[in-house]
Amino acid sequence: MAISYEWIATFAPMSKTVLVTGATSGFGEAIARIFAAAGDRVIITGRRTDRLTKLKNDLTKEGAEVFALTFDVRHENEVNVALANLSPSWKSIDILVNNAGLASGLHHIQDGNTEDWDKMIDTNVKGLLYVSKAVIPGMVKRGRGHIVNIGSTAGKEVYERGNVYCASKHAVDAITKGMRIDLLGKGIKVTQISPGAAETEFSLVRFHGDEDRAKNVYNGYQPMSAEDIAELTYYSTSLPPHLCINDLVVTSTSQANSFYIKREEQSVE
Ligand code: NDP
Ligand code: 8X3
C-alpha cells in the first residue's frame, strides 16, 4: 500500500545514509520509503533485483537518492563484496536496519525440515551478523551510527511449532544486547524493534506460497502493517543523541503476546 510520508519531511533534521536489508517487500520496503521521504539517502538491498529496481525508480522519481544492491545475506562473500564496493559517499552508513529475515515452515520439532532450519538460521542470525560485521567497523571509526535490528515477539516467547524461527529471533535479541554492550561509549545506538503479527509477505513465505493459509493468519482482527513498523523504526532513529530505545515490543491492539489474539469470530466471555 502506498502511503504518503510528506509529514516526515517537515521535521527531518539532516540527511543521513541508511542501509536497509530486505527492502524488496514488507517492513524493509516501507522503511526505505519513510527514510527516503524524510530526505535521507537510502541503500536498498535484497535478492530480487526487479523489485529493487522498481523501488529505486519510484523513490528516485520522488526526489530521493537511492542505491540498490542485490545480495543474499546468507553469503558472507556476497555481502562483503557488495558493501566493500560502495563508493566513499555511500560507505559512510549512519543507520543500518537489519531487517532481512523469514520464517520457513511451521512444524513440530520432530517433523521439522532441515532445509527450513538452515534458511532461518542462515538468514536471520548469520546474515544479520555478516551485514553488521561489514558495517560496524566504519561506524566505530566515525564514532557515530545507529543499528536497528528487527527482532520479533518470537524472540521473547516460544510458541508451538515456532521452535527454530523463535530460536533465531531469540538469537537476534541476544545479539542486539551484545552489540549494545560492546559498542558502549563508541557513539553508536543499538535498537531492537520486536513486532508481533503484521501483514506482509511473511506468512506467504512461511507457508511456502500457500495464499489461503497465509491470509488465515490475519483473519478476524486488524494486524499491524509494514507502514506501522516503518514509522516506529523512523521514530526510534529520530531521538536526541542521549536517548536510545533499546527494545520496542509492539503488537496490534488485538494481540497481547504470541499466544493471545482476539479475533472477531471468537465469543467474548
Ligand atoms: P517479507 O517477506 O515481506 O520481507 C522479507 C524481506 O527479507 C524481503 O525483502 C526479502 O527479500 C528479504 N530477505 C529474505 N531472505 C533474504 C536473504 N537471504 N538475503 C537477502 N534478503 C532476504 O517479511 P516482513 O517484512 O514481514 O519481514 C521482515 C522482518 O521482520 C523479518 O526479519 C521478519 O522475521 C521480521 N518480523 C516480521 C513480522 C511479521 O509479522 N510480518 C513480525 C515480527 C518480525 P528478497 O526475497 O528479495 O531477498
Ligand atoms: C513474526 C511474528 O508471531 O509469526 O515474527 O512469530 S510471529
Which ligand 1 atom is the nearest neighbour of the CA of 154? 43
Give the predicted TM-score (pTM) of the model: 0.95
Which single residue is written with the C-alpha cell 515452515? 105
* pLDDT, one tens digit for every residue, the chain (269 residues): 556 665 555 555 589 999 999 999 999 999 999 999 999 999 999 999 999 999 999 999 999 999 999 999 999 999 999 999 999 999 999 999 999 999 999 999 999 999 999 999 999 999 999 999 999 999 999 999 999 999 999 999 999 999 999 999 999 999 999 999 999 999 999 999 999 999 999 999 999 999 999 999 999 999 999 999 999 999 999 999 999 999 999 999 999 999 999 999 755 55
| Residue 129 φ then ψ, to 5° | -70, -45
Cα 27 to ligand 1 centroid, rounded to whole Å: 7
Residue with cell 504470541: 258
User: What is the per-residue pLDDT for 14?
Assistant: 84
Model pLDDT, residue 268:
52
Specify the residue with its C-alpha closest to ligand 2, atom 5: 152
* Cα(24) to centroid(ligand 1), Å: 9
Instruction: Name residue 17's beta-bridge partners.
Output: 41
95-98 β-sheet, strand order: 66-70, 41-46, 17-20, 95-98, 145-150, 188-195, 247-250
Residue type, 117: W
* CB atoms inside a 10 Å sphere around CB 9: 12
**Which amino acids bring their CB within 6 angstroms of ligand 1?**
21-28, 46-48, 72-74, 99-102, 123, 127, 150, 152, 195, 197-198, 200-202, 205, 226
Which residue's C-alpha comes closest to atom 9 of ligand 1? 22
**On the CB side of 255, how many CA atoms lie within 13 Å of its CA?**
20
User: Please, are residues 117 and 162 in contact by the beta-carbon 8 Å criterion?
Assistant: no
Catalytic residues: 165
Task: Please list every protein residue whose CB sits less than 6 Å from any atom of ligand 2.
Answer: 152-154, 162, 196-197, 258
Taking the centre of ligand 2 as the mean of its atom positions, its distance from the CA of residue 142, in whole angstroms, is 35
Map out the domains of the chain with their CATH numbers: 13-250 (3.40.50.720)
What does the alpha-carbon distance between residue 108 and residue 154 come to, in Å, rounded to a whole number? 15
Q: Which of 135, 167, 164, 166 is nearest to 148 (CA)?
A: 135
Atom of ligand 1 nearest to the CA of 72: 19
CA 82: distance to chain centroid? 19
pLDDT at position 124? 99
Q: Please give the distance, rounded to the nearest whole angstrom, from the Cα atom of residue 101 to the centre of ligand 1.
A: 4
Of 137, 21, 135, the closest CA to residue 69 belongs to 21
Compute the distance from residue 267 Cα to the ligand 1 centre, in Å. Answer: 33
49: Cβ–Cβ under 8 A, 6 or more apart, which residues?
Answer: 68, 70
pLDDT at 10: 52
pLDDT of residue 9: 53
Distance in angstroms (rounded) separating the CA atoms of residues 50 and 96: 22
Nearest CA to ligand 2 atom 6: 154
**Sequence letter at residue 127:** G
